[in-house]
Amino acid sequence: MGIVAGLDSSPDFTRIVVCDADTGAVLRQGYAPHPVESPEGGRPSDVDPQAWLLSLGEAAGGGLLEGVQAIGVSSQQNAVVPLDSQGNTTRPAMVGGDKRAQVAAADLVDALGGREAWAQAVGCVPQAPHPVTKLRWLSKNEPDAAARTAVLLQAHDWLVWQLLGRPVRRTTDRGGASGTGYWSAAGGAYRTDLVELALGHQAMLPEVIGPAEAAGTTPEGLLISAGTGETMAAAFGLGIGLGDAVVSLGASGSVMAVHPEALHDPSGMITALADATGMHLPVVTTLNAVRTLRGTAELLGLPDLESLSELAMKSTPGAHGLVLLPYLEGERTPNLPHTAGTLAGLRREAMRPEHLARAAFEGMLCGLADALDVLRGRGVEVRRVFLLGAAAELPAVQASAPSLFGAQVVVPQPADYAAIGAARQAAWALGASQGTLDPRTPPAWQGAAAQVLEPGEELAVGQAVRQQFVSVREQTHPGAFRS
């Protein structure tokens, strides 16, 4: 079929991969940082979206896109680009976690009648990062900009629209729409009443098109696919399907899995996202993952996580009875926002640095296993767990994860999976438009190169460690998963 490109516009940079449309083999790559000044202490909450176009142009320099027939776009989720009736921004794009919107999130939850009402309406409970929450903040804090806002786009919608020359028709995909807080993955439709609840008035929303549909064609004849959010693009790039879960190890953690239907969760622990293939992508997040390891390394005076891992490997499974409940920033799974971490099982023989190091790894992984069990408890099948993030390479993680998760663990080699997923979407749309691919079946690209770890004989030991963790959690926070 030729060659296709996928571009991923992340919070900090644009990355482009050019791939063989039939096999997915990466032929060329480009990269450029966004020309954005970060404030002291982190990323900006407001960004001029022109910065995304500038880095895109730089990343595509040197003839990178020569011969490309179709492009897919992946971009950071939760970014909102508010436009006026002429298509100009009414203010900079609102991106990232945006902690200033925390009060707005609580306002919205109350305004609709509580967490369960939101979970039933759109499959998620508003948090500070959600676009619907940002709209509420905008209406309360910048009413003039809110009043002039006539069109709402996410980052990948806006980039697709720009690549197509700003046509009258604006589009999005199910994956991106499902993260807004005003589109229901279960119902497959917008809740325009929630836009009005948040923004104070209605606004034009992009048309949600199918996974293999094209958003349009550029004047030069380049096909642009629907685009999607980074999470959905990465899942598509990894090639995960039914029976697969993905555990991402960042400062916080996330667990997602492919499922044939949307999951309505009254507790709000599950966010019901759609994926990039027509299936669903339920997600459970934890507030504490690698930050647990970093905190323990600092406490023990170690310079890095590699040193912490090396120390932990000198201990044994179960850490001589030490159990760390890693709720250092409060926790979302279980919902304990105001709690703190707990170290239990202190005995004289356990008071050694290596046992604390081991307890930190086991506590982090058991917290993520709790998140996996939330999905399993709702009928989600988990046969394989893809483990992502730099910490996935640590020996102490790899030694414990398969037996604690009770599943085969796959550690993919580092790659630009979101950009690869965007390119795979482009290949699908190109093939569907040419009649060479079924719009219901994505192209069968080669899977990610990966290390595969089996629970094996360690399964019983791991499950005993897990039970030890669950016992301490239940004693310390009785009924935390039943509330």
Confidence of residue 9 (pLDDT cuts 50, 70, 90): very high
**By C-alpha distance, which of 479, 474, 287, 246 is closest to 375?**
246
Interval 29-45 mean pLDDT: 81
Tokens 């990269």 correspond to: 31
For residue 163, which amino acid is it? L
At 267 the pLDDT is 79
SS3 299: helix
Distance CA 284, CA 331 (A): 12
What value, to the nearest 5°, has the Cα angle with vertex 121 and ends 116 and 127? 65
Strands 382-388 and 243-249: parallel
**Residue 39 pLDDT > 70, yes or no?**
no
Distance CA 228, CA 160 (A): 10
Confidence of residue 40 (pLDDT cuts 50, 70, 90): low
Cβ burial, residue 63 (10 Å; 0-12/13-18/19+): exposed
DSSP code string of 405-446: HTSEEEEEPP--HHHHHHHHHHHHHHHHHHTSS-TTS---PP
325 strand-pairing partners? 342
**Residue 282 main-chain phi, psi, to 5 deg:** -65, 135
Beta strand ranges found along 197-276 (DSSP E): 207-209, 214-217, 223-225, 228-229, 243-249, 253-257, 270-274
Express as a percent the part of the chain with pLDDT over 90: 91
For residue 160, which amino acid is it? V
The secondary structure element, H or E, covering residue 28 is strand 26-33
Tokens 């910048």 correspond to: 142
Is the peptide bond preceding residue 49 cis, with omega within 30 degrees of 0? no
The secondary structure element, H or E, covering residue 305 is helix 305-312
Distance CA 198, CA 104 (A): 9
DSSP code string of 38-90: PPTTS--SEE-THHHHHHHHHHTTTTTTTTEEEEEEEE-TT-EEEE-TTS-BS
**Residue 332 main-chain phi, psi, to 5 deg:** -100, -30
Query: Tokens in use for 230?
Result: 């980074």
Interval 61-75 mean pLDDT: 97
Tokens 């394989």 correspond to: 384
Q: How far is CA 63 from CA 7, 28, 165, in A?
A: 15, 10, 20
Q: What is the pLDDT of residues 376-410, one digit of tens each?
A: 999 999 999 999 999 999 999 999 999 999 999 99
Q: What is the pLDDT of residues 234-280, one digit of tens each?
A: 999 999 999 999 999 999 999 999 999 999 887 788 999 999 999 99
**Residue 99 pLDDT > 80, yes or no?**
no
319 or 97, which is more confident: 319
Interval 6-10 mean pLDDT: 97
**Average per-residue pLDDT for the chain:** 95
Query: Tokens in use for 226?
Result: 């629907």
**Are 445 and 24 within 8 A, CB to CB?**
yes
259 strand-pairing partners? 280
**By C-alpha distance, which of 357, 370, 367, 287 is closest to 322?**
357
At 97 the pLDDT is 74
Q: What is the pLDDT of residues 405-425, one digit of tens each?
A: 999 999 999 999 999 999 999
Q: How far is CA 61 from CA 31, 145, 358, in A?
A: 9, 35, 47
At 42 the pLDDT is 65
Residues in the chain: 483
**Are 138 and 146 within 8 A, CB to CB?**
yes
SS3 398: helix
